[in-house]
Structure 1
Amino acid sequence: MKVKKIIAVFILLVLVIISGVAAVFLLHHKKGNKSQMEELSSKLTPYDELLYDGNFYRTCYEVFVYSFADGNADGIGDICGLTDNLNYIRSAERDDKEGLGCTELWLMPIFPSPTYHKYDVTDYMNVDKEYGTMNDFTTLLDKCHGRGIKVILDLPLNHTSVEHPWFMEAVDYLRNLKSGEKPDSKACKYIDYYNFSHEPADGYEKLTDNWYYEARFWSGMPDLNLDNEDVRNEIEVILRFWIEKGVDGFRLDAVTSYYSEDKNRNIEFTKWINDKAKEINNKTYIVGEAWADQKIYSEYYKSGADSFFDFRFSGPDGVIASTVKGVKRPSYYGEALQEEEELYSEMSDGKAINAPFYTNHDMARSAGYYLEEDMVKQAGALNLLVTGNAFIYYGEELGMRGSGKDENKRTAFPWVGEDGGEKGITNCKGPKDASKQELTYGSLEDQKKDKYSIYNYYKNAIRIRNAFPAISKGRTTVIEDKTTDSVLTFKRALADTPDLGDVLIVINFSSEDQTVEMAGLEEYGNLSAVLTVSEKRVKFNKKELKIPARGIAFLTR
C-alpha cells in the first residue's frame, strides 16, 4: 500500500513538473525572449548611405491613401492619417526599431478625381479634398524627409478624367459647332489636347452623333494627345510644380499605353518625361510601369528612366511563387537573379536600377497564392532579396487577402480587428464596392503580439536588407555544389568591392530541416542574420549549417 502511495505521489510530482515546464515554454514562446530573427537583426546597423544620400536602392512602401489611415474619422484614408502613422513605415529614430524600416514611399494618385482610385485626374497640381490640403501634403513630405524616406507620386499621364477642365472645354466647344463648321484649335486649343474623330474606331467612345473620342481604358478616361506641344508644355509645368515642392520622383502609370502598342513612340515619350524631370532636378527618380514580358519591358530602359517594374518575379506564376510552391527547383530563383543582374548591368550604361515587386494594386494579393503561412513569409523575403529598389504593397506584410475586382485588392489596412482595438484607433472603410476580406492572419494589433507573425518576419527581412548594401546593390553568384532540390546557396557581393560587405545567403525551400556542409566556404564564419518561420533556430558550428523548414541564413566573413 505504501509503495502504491509513493508511486502515486511520484507520478503527481512528475506531472506538476512537466506542466510547469510546458507553461514556462508557452509563456516564453508568446511573451518571452526575442526570436532568433530579432536577436540577430537587432544588432544590425542600417546602411547610412542607403538612407540619407540620393541613391534609390531602397525599400519602397506603396500606399493607397484612401484605404490606409483615417485622420479625421470620416472613414476615408487621408494624408493627415498617413502622417500620423509614419512611425509604422519608418520611425524618426536613425536606428529604426519601431517601424518597418522602409526608406521610400509611393503614393498612388492623390490628385482631385471623381473616382475612389483617382487615376482619372481633374487637376494635376492639387490634392483631392478627400485626402486633405496642399499644406497637409507638404507636412507629410517634410516629416518623411526627416526620417530618411523619399516620396514618389503616381503620375497617370496617358489620360485625364472626363471632368478635367481641358476635356470639358473641348467637349463644350465641339457640341456648339454649327452644322458643317470645322473645329478650329485657335478658337479652342483644348480640342487638340485629345484625339477626336468623326468616325467610330476601336478604342473610341461616342461623344455626340458626330464626334467620338479616344478612351482606351474606359469612357471616363479620355486619352491625351501626347504629340501636342501644348500638352507637353502642360506636363512640364506639372513636373516642375511637384519637384519644386520637394517630391523625389514619379511612378509613371501605364507607359506601354502612351501610344497604344507603339513601343518606339512609348519609349520616346518616356525619355522626354525623364529628361524634363532631370532638367529640373537631376536627382529625380523615375520608375515606369511597363506591364509586359521582360523582353519588352527591358527595352524601355533605352528611355534613360531609372527603373521599370520587374514583372518576371511577380504574381502567382512568377519566379518567386514558382520556387516557393516547388513548381521550379531552388536554382531557378538563383539563376533568374544572375540573369537579371547581368541584363540590368547592360542597361543605361549600367545605371539601370531594377524595381522588383511581388504584387500591387492591380494584382491579387499574394497571401492568396499559398495554403501555408510559412510560404507567405518566405515569398515576401524572396522579393526583398532581389537587387534594386524593392517595392512592397501596403498590407502584404500582414498577409492581407484580396482578389477578383480591383476594389478587393485595395481594402482597408487592418490596424485593429473587427472588434476594435486601442482607444482612438480605427480602420478606414475602404472602397464601398469591395467584398469583405477575411483577416486570415489577424490585424496589425494582433500580429505585433506574435514574434513569429508575418508582420515581424517582414520587419526583420527589411532590417536585414537595409543593413547589407550588397543585397540591394550587389551581384549574385550561385554556389552550385551547395545547391540542391531543397536548398539554394549564393553569394551577393558589390561589384567594385567584392570582398567588402559581401554576404552568403542560404535558403531552405523545403518543409523539412536541411543541413549544408560548409567545406569551401569557411571564410563565412559569422551567422549575422536569419529569417525563420517558427521558433526552430538556425544552428551553425563553422563546419555545417542546419536550417529549419523555410528558413534563410545570412553569413558574413
Structure 2
Amino acid sequence: MLILPAVSCAMALSQPAADTTARPWWHDAVFYEVFVRSFADSTDGPLANDGVGDFRGLTARLDYLNDGDPATTTDLGIDAIWLMPINESPSYHGYDIVDYKSIDAEYGTPEDFRAFIDAAHERGIRIIIDLVLNHCSNRHPWFEEAASDPDSPKRDWFIWADQDPGYRGPWGQQVWHRVSHDQDAPLYYGCFYRGMPDLNLHNPAVTAELKEIARFWIQDMGVDGFRLDAIKHLIEDGATQENTQATIDWLEDFNAYCKSLNPDFFTVGEVWSTTDQVARYIPAAVDTAFEFDLAQTIIDGLNTGDATKIRDRIALVADAYDTPVATFLTNHDQARLMTQLGESESKAKAAASILLTLPGVPFIYYGEEIGHTGGKPDPNIRTPMQWDATGETFSAAEPWRAAQPDAVRRNVREQQGHPGSLLEHYRRLIDLRKSTPALTQARVIPLDPPEDAILAFIRRDDTGRQCLVVVNTSADPIGWYAVPLDQPVPPGPLRDISGNRRPFGSLSDDRATFRGGGIRGHELFVIELPNAG
C-alpha cells in the first residue's frame, strides 16, 4: 500500500488513486526481515561506530538488497523490507514499547527514518514495520498511570483481577501478575511476561489510540505496511487466550481502517497456529499471515530426506487459502535455518529452492542468504550481519553482540560473485521468480513421484503457462529418473531455467525423464513446459 506520505521521495511509489482491480503489489514481492540493531552501524553522524545498527547504516546498505536498477546483478533483488520494532523500548528487541510514535534513539532520529524511507522508495523497495497491538511495556506511561491510580481512566486500558482467576497461559506460563510485591495487590494480565501487560481491546479508547498510531505511521511517516505481532492473543475469552472470534472481528475493523487511509496498504499477521486457524484471519483481518506449519515441514523434510510430508503440506496449504500466504523458513524467534539444518549448505540451498518456487509471498530473515547460524537464547539468533570475516564492516566498534564464530567463512564478501555460493543461489532464485510469471501468479499442482526423496510440482497459471519444479530433498543422487506429470506434453528435450547445469533427458507424453547424471543430492531443476491446453 502506498501512502500519501509526508516524506518527499515516498511520493515516487504513491499513486493518485488505487486501482482496485489491479494485482496487489505484495502478491509478487519478496520480503527481507531486518533487525536494525544488527544490520549495519553508521560510519558518520552522531551514532557512528557505536556497535549498534541504525538507520543511517541500513540506508547505506540498501544497494546490497536492491540497487533500483533491474539491469544489475550484484544486489539480492528483494522488493520489500520488514523492520522489527523501531520504537523506544527498555529491551534490546523492542517488542515492549514505551512510545509508539517514537524512533529508538539508538537507531537514529525521525529524520533519519524518513531519509531511509525516501532512499528505499527511490529504489522501489517498500517498507513495512512491526506494530505490537497485543501489549506494551510495563514502563509505558499508560501502564504506569494505570498501575499507580485505580481511578485513572487508563486503568481500563489493561485487564485486571482482584483474585487469581486460576488459569495459566497457552503454553503453561503464568499470565496473571501482581502489580506490586504485596500479596493482596491486584493482578494484571500479561500473556508473555510481567513486563508486557496486555492492552484491553474491548475498551473503545484503546482501539481509538491504536488507530491513531496506525494513522501516524501510514500518513505522517510513509510506511507501506504493518507486520502485526502476536495477533492470535489480542482478545481473550476467559481461559481461551488464542484465536477468539472477537480477535478476528477487531482486526477486520482495524485492517479496514488502515485501508481507508491508503487502499494499497499491506498487513501481514503473526498467527503462530495451525493452517486451519491461520486461514480464519485471511483476507479480512489481515491481508495475509505467516505459514508456520509449512516452514517447519520443509525443514523437517530436508533433515530426513523425505519429501512426502512437504508434498502433502503444500497440497493442504494450497487448498486452505484463496490469496497468497506469507511463506518463510525461519524468523527472529527461531533457531537459524543453517543451524536447524546441521550447517549443511546443500540443504540450505534446497530450502531456498523450495521457498522461492512455491506460491505465496516469501520472507527471508536477514543473513539467511549467507548461511548465518545461531541457536537459542534469542540474542544468539539476532547477531550482527556478517558482511566480512572481521566484523569491522558491521561496525568499527565492538558490536552489541558478538558475531557468530563461523563468520570467517559465512559472510557477504566471501560469497559475493561466487557462482556456487549460497548468496548467489538466493540471487539467482529471486531473479528467476521475478522473470517467470508462472512462479508468482500460478497455482501449484503437487505431483507424486515414485521416489520419496523427490519433491515435484507444477506451477500453472490460467493462460496455460507452466513449469515443472523438481527438488531432491536428500543428499543421495538419483540416477535415471522419470517424474510423472499430471497431463501429457509434446515430446522434446528438458530445458532448465533455474541457472543450474543442463539436465540430460526429455519430455515425453506424461513424464519428464532425467537420464545421464540424473538428479544430484539437494539439486533443483525448474523445467520449462509447453503451454497447457
Q: TM-score, normalised on structure 2?
A: 0.82
Q: 1:75-474 maps to which residues of 2 (within 5 A)?
A: 75-174=51-150, 183=151, 188-201=152-165, 203-208=175-180, 209=182, 210-244=185-219, 245-259=221-235, 260-261=241-242, 263-301=244-282, 303-314=284-295, 318-326=296-304, 328=306, 330-345=307-322, 352-371=323-342, 372-418=344-390, 420=392, 426=395, 431-432=400-401, 437-439=405-407, 441-448=409-416, 450-474=418-442
Report the CA distance between 1:485 and its aligned residue. Answer: 3.0
> Partners in 2 of 1:312 and 1:425 — Cα distance?
33
Q: Please say if residues 399 and 441 of structure 1, whose CA atoms lie closer than 8 Å, have aligned partners that are also in contact.
A: no
User: What's the secondary structure of 1:122's corresponding residue?
Assistant: coil
Matches of 2:38 and 2:146 in 1, distance apart?
A: 34
- CA–CA distance in structure 1, aligned partners of residues 40 and 404 of structure 2: 18
The one-letter code matched in structure 2 to 1:319 is T
Letter in 2 for 1:225: N
Pairwise CA distance, 1:247: 1.1
Cα distance, 1:472–1:438 mapped onto 2, change above 3 Å:
same
**Does the 8 Å CA contact 2:40/2:394 hold for their aligned counterparts?**
no
For 1:74-115, what per-residue CA distance to the aligned partner results, in whole angstroms no more than 9, with x for missing partners? 100111111100011111213341211111110001011111
Residue identity matched to 2:280: E
Aligned counterpart, 2:9:
none
How far the C-alpha of 1:374 sits from its partner, in A, is: 0.8
Q: In structure 2, how many angstroms separate the alpha carbons of the residues matched to 1:84 and 1:549?
A: 38
Offset from partner CA, 1:297-342 (integer Å, 9 cap, x none): 222226442111001122xxx22123222353x3433343233122
1:57 has 2:28 as partner: yes
Q: CA deviation at 1:551?
A: 1.5
Residue 542 of structure 1, CA deviation: 4.0
Cα distance in 2 between the residues matched to 1:255 and 1:373: 34
Note closer, same or farther for the CA distance 1:58–1:262 as it changes in structure 2 (3 Å cut): closer
Going from structure 1 to structure 2, the CA distance change for 1:484 and 1:339 (only over 3 Å counts) comes to same
| Aligned partners of 2:49 and 2:396 also within 8 Å | no
Report if aligned partners of 2:248, 2:285 keep a CA contact under 8 Å in 1.
no
Provide the secondary structure at the position in 1 that maps to 2:27: coil
The 1:116/1:428 distance shift into structure 2, 3 A limit, reads farther
AA aligned opposite 2:437:
P
Superposed CA offset, 1:27-73 (max 9, x none): xxxxxxxxxxxxxxxxxxxxxxxx99734331110001111111121
> Compared with structure 1, are the counterparts of its residues 171 and 437 closer, same or farther at alpha carbon in structure 2 (3 Å cutoff)?
farther
Equivalent residue for 1:493, pick from 460, 463, 475: 460
**Equivalent residues of 1:225, 1:231 under 8 A apart:** yes
Q: Does 1:512 align with 2:477?
A: yes
Aligned with 1:530: secondary structure? coil
**Distance across 1 between alignment mates of 2:133 and 2:66:** 30
1:67 aligned residue (28, 38, 60): 38
Give aligned-pair identity as a percent: 32
Give the alignment's Cα RMSD to 1 decimal.
2.5
Give the distance between the partners of 2:478 and 2:499, measured in 1 at CA.
14
Alpha-carbon shift at residue 505 of structure 1 (Å): 1.6
Give the distance between the partners of 2:98 and 2:348, measured in 1 at CA: 39
Amino acid at match of 1:334: R
What one-letter code is carried by the residue in structure 2 that aligns with 1:195?
Answer: I
Secondary structure of the 2:304 match is coil
* Structure 1 pair 429–229 and aligned structure 2 pair: CA distance change class (3 A): farther
Partner secondary structure for residue 498 of structure 2? strand
Higher helix share: 1
| Alpha-carbon offset, residue 365 of structure 1 | 0.6
Relative to structure 1, the CA distance from residue 505 to residue 470 in structure 2 (aligned partners, 3 Å threshold; closer, same or farther) is same
1:233 and 1:313 map into 2 onto residues whose CA distance is 35
CA contact (8 A) 1:89 1:101 kept: yes
Residue 443 (structure 2) aligns with: 475
How far did residue 220 of structure 1 move? Answer: 1.4
> For the residues of structure 1 that align with 2:121 and 2:332, how far apart are their CA atoms?
25
AA aligned to 1:416 is: D
Residue type of the partner of 2:177? E
Farther off after superposition, 280-289 or 466-475? 466-475
What letter matches 2:454 in structure 1?
V
Deviation per CA, 1:231-271: give whole Å up to 9, x if none.
Answer: 11101111111111321111110011112235212212221
TM superposition score normalised by structure 1: 0.79
Task: Note the C-alpha offset of 1:149.
Answer: 1.5
1:123-148 alpha-carbon deviations (Å, 9 max, x no partner): 11121111111111112112222222
CA distance in 1 between counterparts of 2:445 and 2:178 reads 56
Counterpart of 2:277, as a letter, is: I
Structure 2 CA distance for aligned equivalents of residues 462 and 427 of structure 1: 31
**1:487/1:514 contact within 8 Å kept:** no
SS in 2 for 1:166: helix
Q: CA deviation at 1:230?
A: 0.8
Could you tell me how far apart the structure 2 residues matched to 1:231 and 1:485 are?
52
Task: Name the SS for the 1:140 alignment partner.
Answer: helix
